[in-house]
Structure 1
């Protein structure tokens, strides 16, 4: 309660955010990539390749339905309430052979910053398990609106996970990944543990995650020069 009151008081003392003078809303356009975004797109693709696309698909991912131009290629027509991705004449649906397992009723909270290879390991595990997570950024593991909450855990390090569903909080990426896998993952005999080797083989995970962060320009490691002066005091959306 005290922490909540402090955060409310801190945010209330800040000047309200408003649109810049003379701002004009851009004309709505279809999703497209501008020339200025190509370097960022290429660096993101390179980082994904370095990590062998770990975390792109959930554990046990499989395609289960495909249709082109009204002609079914495989699988059963999605039932009521089931989604099917549609783009042009193509319809596609996927699922997991081992998920969903137990689902947390409240989102898992993870304090982290993007460039850390250990934080990346936790993010990828959350993606593999298809968990709902609230990420609370702590730039450089020291700053930002959530730094005081992180320090309340007793250490100044990330990642730091809080699971309010089980009243559990812990540091250390390996411990967090093991906890999430055992608590919210499928039974160990339902999948081949070797499928997790990009996360569990320490040297490979550390080296490739570090390279991925370097390729991306070490995001979250330092303050942007064009950031608002009170940016770190505001709670992220």
Structure 2
């Protein structure tokens, strides 16, 4: 089976909710030995606990991806427990900006860049050496359709996700011959708790989100998870440096 991850050691960051949670569950269902990580200890442990209750193999390890010491400790713990890392989904990120560029706040800019860009960089720089010790692996980073075009009311967020693609493509080229494949998923609007909070009380926002997708609906977290598992699987063994839209056709315009 292409999506058989039996015995594979897999790390998912930002796994306490939304896309990260769904992807952790999908990896576990495919047989992976899972490390669930997030700054939300309660949510992350609940995800790991639910996976174990369903017969899966999961351990929660708290980690702030902006802190190099914490990321290093996370990867060292994975190596100590499992001796290897086969796949990593670097999904931790934030989306806290609304408004035009000239109205932006410096503290918000710094925070978005710190989590969305530095966090991905920190994870990859510790994940890759461990993968190289054992002949390679697969990494998927969460970008966004905002990385494939413009987002006038979220210019800093868009810039951060463009940067994620720059890191992804550069690392893919740099480590391809050594057996490490590195790709990105670029979700459109996805039905998460964050989305529901954003449109709560304003049906027009929800309708607008649906309207931008040619398929006539927003996406589901399970659909993004399926794309991540594909990119980490042997079925994608000749695929690296790709920014894969999971966006209901939005970027086809």
Q: Shorter-chain TM-score: which interval?
A: under 0.3
* TM-score (norm: length of structure 2): 0.24
* TM-score (norm: length of structure 1): 0.25
Q: Which has the higher contact order (CA 8 A, sep 6+)?
A: 1
Larger radius of gyration: 1
